[in-house]
Structures are given as structure tokens and as C-alpha cells.
């Protein structure tokens, strides 16, 4: 049954340079690059949408469609939603972000979800500005281990005090979204030859929709994880293959005592002071914690050198050996426990985040007016990737879907 609408309100004919498309039961404002977009959805009450993937982009899209009254389903291949956002509890006296961790406030195209979050409107998710007191650079020379200096961070980098990015995304799973969320439902093919689109899952179940929004990681499209009938245009496939999504690794180590600075650069710096190869950081910094947790994050070529260790025990040995060389053997003697998150080996993900080698605009370009695309690699509003880019891309995709049906 199609959803019925209540509480219809009027909308202005235009806001800035953006014209509306009718009226909406509960108009919602989409803030992107200092413009206010009002989506008026009365004219698309007939539309049903399928969202493929329940990561940051898929959940944001579901949240928006739920508020608009559009009928939809979300099909997620894995047994949990969140995508590359995942938390671990019990390892320390604070929850661990196994995936996305920082809130980058420098983003110009921040969706309203983050505006609300950063303004502290949700008391469950207080944030703090990360102030690093000591930083070290390690280039493999033992004398460099004591080269610590005070670091003044950008006034924009935030982290959660007691919560995680998963807790933030969990807010998007409203009752209306939860009842339409299908876990353990991998999509294997999308047939868009007819007026409607047919989506088939691994179990053989088929879903029909007027519009399909694909939010899987770019790596899944590169691997051919979903068959399209007809095939995607060559220009689209070429652009997909241009993108890079290298492997990513996070290792959290708990120690009985702290012996390390807040941040350790490994391998020096790239132009502009960007971290080269990998870094260790104090994961408990700013938390309400009495634990000593040092984390490693790396991606790309450096990550491969860690990941190529044949077993988890070998990888742990490799990391502790590296830390021992920096801190005179203290890592091994004070070590208590660890957890490793290897995103390169995660089914249906296979990597960390995109590198902006392809055109986000071309990646996000709809196909045949029926297939739409969103995800951190497809955020056309600026150069932002990660969770922020994924959510912003969902706003743009929902805007395009609704406009195409008006």
C-alpha cells in the first residue's frame, strides 16, 4: 500500500537558486554549500525506491525517504548495518571505533545531520576538540624517538567523548527505517530494462522498484559484485575503474602503563604535513578513560606490509617489534591485549576509503533515470570523502531521485 500523506504545508517557489518541485507533508531542508534546498515531494507519492547498502550513505538516504513519505526498502549484504562504521565494546572502558573515527568540521558541505550533532543537540554524543600535547616522528632511526614536540591541531578536528560514529549513524535508524531494513540480503543483479527495476538477491528473492540507489563501496562495483542488465555504460565503468580504494588496517593495543606520545608519525611527512604511510595515536585521548590504548591506522602500501603477515600473531609481533624499536622494548613488556580490524579482508567492503582518482560527478551520474549512486567516492559537493562525504552524497542522490520523478 502506498503511504498516505498528512500535514501538507506550502513551500516557497524558490530558495536561493533552487526551485522546489511542489509541496511536501513535512518539508525538510538540505544544507549544501551554503544553499538551502527544499524538496517538495507530493508529486512523487507513487515512487518506490530500493537502496542497496546500509552504510552511511544508505542509512542517510533511508532516513530522508522515510521523512518524505516515499516507500522504500534497504537491502544490506552483511549481518549488521553501518558499513565501514563499526564499534567494539569491552576492549577498554570506552567504545572503540574500528572504522571511521574523526569528525572533520572543516567540511563546507556538511549535511544537517552533522550540524545537529556538532551543535550538541544530542546529549548522548558529546564531542571534544582533539588537542595533541606530544607528537613524535619515527623514520627508523633510534635517536628520533625522543623528537617530541607540542602540536597545535586544526581547530576543526573533533572526536566523540563516550560515543562512536556508529552511535551517530544509529540515530538514522528510526522505526520507519528499521522496518524496511533487510540484513543478510546481498544483491546480485539489477535489471533496469523495463519501466520498473528488478533487484535480485543471492537467495533468489526479487524486489521491484521505480528507482534504485546503489550505495555499495566503489570496490564492490569494481569487482563486479552486482550484475547490471543492461550493462552500465562504458564511460561509467571506465570511471569506476579509475578510482582507488586501498586496503586499510587499524590495530588497537592495550598496555598496563602509558609510554607513548599522543601521536607518532611513521615514515615522515608528505606535502602539506599530511601523514605518510601510517601513524600511531593515543586512542584514549579526551575520553573518560583510565585505559592505556594505543592505536595504529595505516592504508595503502604501508598497510600491505602489515597485512601480508601470514597470521594475526605474526602481525601483532610485527607491530610490537616496531614499537619496541622506538621505545626500548617497553611495548612488549607492558602489552596486555589487542584487536585488529583489517578492512581489506571484509566481505562486501574490501578496502578503506577512496582516493579521489575518479570524477565524483561522473561516478554519481544517474543511469537511464532509474539507477542512482551514492557513497563517499561519489560526493560531488567538494572534496570530502569518509562518512561526511557519504552522507552528503545521499542528500544529492535523494534530491536527484525525487526530482526525476516529479
Evaluate whether residue 206 is within a structural domain: yes
Evaluate whether residue 9 is within a structural domain: no
Q: What is the pTM of this model?
A: 0.82
* CA atoms of 225 and 223, how far apart (whole Å): 5
Domain count, the chain: 2
In contact, 391 and 114? CB cutoff 8 Å: yes
* CA atoms of 229 and 214, how far apart (whole Å): 14
311 and 291 in a single domain? The answer is: yes
Q: What is the largest CA-CA distance in the chain?
A: 70
Please give the grid coordinates belonging to residue 185: 540480503
**Phi, psi dihedrals of residue 208, rounded to the nearest 5°:** -110, 145
* Strands of the 103-104 sheet, one edge to the other: 103-104, 157-160, 127-129
Tens digit of pLDDT at every position of the chain (406 positions): 333 322 222 333 333 333 333 332 233 333 332 332 344 444 444 489 999 999 999 999 999 999 888 999 999 999 999 999 999 999 999 999 999 888 766 554 455 656 654 554 555 566 666 667 677 767 665 564 445 444 444 545 678 887 888 888 887 888 889 999 999 999 999 999 999 999 999 999 999 999 999 999 999 999 999 999 999 999 999 999 988 887 788 999 999 999 998 888 775 433 333 344 568 999 998 888 999 999 998 877 666 666 766 688 888 998 899 899 889 899 999 999 999 998 888 899 888 877 777 788 888 899 999 999 999 888 876 556 688 888 889 988 998 998 876 5
**DSSP annotation of 2:** P
* CA atoms of 300 and 245, how far apart (whole Å): 9
160 and 91 in a single domain? The answer is: yes
Evaluate whether residue 186 is within a structural domain: yes
338 and 298 in a single domain? The answer is: yes
**What pLDDT was estimated at residue 50?**
97
CA-wise closest residue to 311 among 290, 342, 357, 274: 342
157 and 284 in a single domain? The answer is: yes
In contact, 97 and 164? CB cutoff 8 Å: yes
362 and 400 in a single domain? The answer is: yes
**What pLDDT was estimated at residue 262?**
86
CATH of the domain at 156: 3.90.660.10
Q: Could you tell me which residues are beta bridge partners of residue 335? A: 255
206 and 233 in a single domain? The answer is: yes
Residue after which a domain boundary falls, among 321, 345, 369: 345
Coil vs helix vs strand at 393: helix
Evaluate whether residue 4 is within a structural domain: no
Q: Vertex 65, ends 63 and 66: CA angle to 5°?
A: 65
**What pLDDT was estimated at residue 150?**
47
Evaluate whether residue 231 is within a structural domain: yes
220 and 325 in a single domain? The answer is: no
Evaluate whether residue 209 is within a structural domain: yes
CATH of the domain at 22: 3.50.50.60
* CA atoms of 216 and 373, how far apart (whole Å): 9
Query: Per-residue DSSP letters for 343-365?
Result: GGGSTTT-SS---S-S-HHHHH-
As to burial, measured by CB atoms within 10 angstroms (0-12 exposed, 13-18 middle, 19+ buried), residue 145 is middle
Cα four-point dihedral sign 133, 149, 266, 311: negative
Please give the grid coordinates belonging to residue 284: 584514549
Domain that holds residue 68: 14-81+173-244+354-405
Evaluate whether residue 120 is within a structural domain: yes
In contact, 167 and 173? CB cutoff 8 Å: no
33 and 140 in a single domain? The answer is: no
221 and 100 in a single domain? The answer is: no
270 and 333 in a single domain? The answer is: yes
Evaluate whether residue 27 is within a structural domain: yes
92 and 156 in a single domain? The answer is: yes
Residue after which a domain boundary falls, among 345, 363, 387: 345
The helix (H) or strand (E) run that includes residue 15 is strand 14-15
* CA atoms of 32 and 4, how far apart (whole Å): 29
218 and 270 in a single domain? The answer is: no
**What pLDDT was estimated at residue 169?**
84
Q: Are strands 157-160 and 103-104 parallel, antiparallel or unpaired?
A: antiparallel
Residue after which a domain boundary falls, among 328, 345, 362: 345
Amino acid at each position: 500500500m502506498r503511504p498516505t500523506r498528512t500535514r501538507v504545508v506550502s513551500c516557497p517557489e524558490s530558495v536561493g537558486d533552487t526551485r522546489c518541485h511542489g509541496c511536501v507533508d513535512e518539508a525538510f531542508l538540505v544544507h549544501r554549500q551554503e544553499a538551502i534546498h527544499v524538496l517538495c515531494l507530493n508529486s512523487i507519492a507513487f515512487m518506490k525506491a530500493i537502496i542497496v547498502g546500509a552504510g552511511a550513505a544508505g542509512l542517510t538516504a533511508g532516513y530522508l525517504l522515510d521523512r518524505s513519505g516515499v516507500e522504500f526498502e534497504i537491502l544490506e549484504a552483511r549481518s549488521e548495518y553501518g558499513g565501514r562504521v563499526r564499534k567494539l565494546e569491552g576492549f577498554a572502558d570506552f567504545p572503540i571505533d574500528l572504522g571511521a573515527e574523526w569528525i572533520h568540521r572543516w567540511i563546507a558541505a556538511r549535511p544537517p545531520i552533522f550540524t545537529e550533532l556538532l551543535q550538541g543537540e544530542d546529549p548522548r554524543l558529546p564531542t571534544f576538540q582533539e588537542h595533541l600535547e606530544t607528537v613524535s616522528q619515527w623514520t627508523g632511526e633510534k635517536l628520533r624517538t625522543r623528537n617530541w614536540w607540542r602540536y597545535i591541531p586544526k581547530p576543526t578536528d573533533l572526536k566523540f567523548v563516550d560515543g562512536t560514529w556508529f552511535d551517530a549513524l544509529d540515530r538514522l535508524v528510526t522505526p520507519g527505517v528499521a522496518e524496511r531494513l533487510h540484513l543478510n540480503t546481498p544483491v546480485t543483479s539489477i535489471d533496469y530494462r523495463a519501466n520498473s527495476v528488478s533487484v535480485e538477491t543471492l537467495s533468489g528473492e526479487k524486489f521491484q522498484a521505480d528507482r534504485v540507489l546503489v550505495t555499495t563501496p566503489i570496490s564492490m562495483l569494481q569487482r563486479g559484485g552486482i550484475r547490471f542488465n543492461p550493462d552500465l555504460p562504458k564511460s561509467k565503468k571506465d570511471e569506476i575503474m579509475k578510482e582507488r580504494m586501498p586496503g586499510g588496517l587499524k590495530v588497537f593495543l592495550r598496555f598496563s602503563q602509558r609510554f607513548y606520545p599522543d601521536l607518532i608519525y611513521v615514515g615522515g611527512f608528505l606535502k602539506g604535513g599530511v601523514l605518510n604511510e601510517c601513524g600511531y595515536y593515543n586512542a584514549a585521548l579526551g575520553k573518560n578513560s583510565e585505559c592505556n590504548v594505543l592505536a595504529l591506522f595505516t592504508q595503502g602500501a604501508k598497510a600491505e606490509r602489515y597485512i601480508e603477515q601470514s597470521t594475526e600473531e605474526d602481525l601483532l609481533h610485527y607491530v610490537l617489534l616496531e614499537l619496541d624499536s622506538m621505545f626500548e622494548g617497553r611495548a612488549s613488556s607492558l602489552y596486555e591485549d589487542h584487536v585488529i580490524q583489517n578492512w581489506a579482508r571484509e566481505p562486501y567492503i574490501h578496502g578503506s576509503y577512496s582516493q579521489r582518482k575518479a570524477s565524483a560527478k561522473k561516478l554519481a551520474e544517474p543511469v537511464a533515470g532509474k539507477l542512482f549512486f551514492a557513497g563517499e567516492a561519489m560526493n560531488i559537493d567538494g572534496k570530502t570523502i569518509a562518512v561526511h562525504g557519504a552522507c552528503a552524497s545521499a542528500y544529492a542522490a535523494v534530491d536527484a531521485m525525487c526530482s526525476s520523478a516529479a
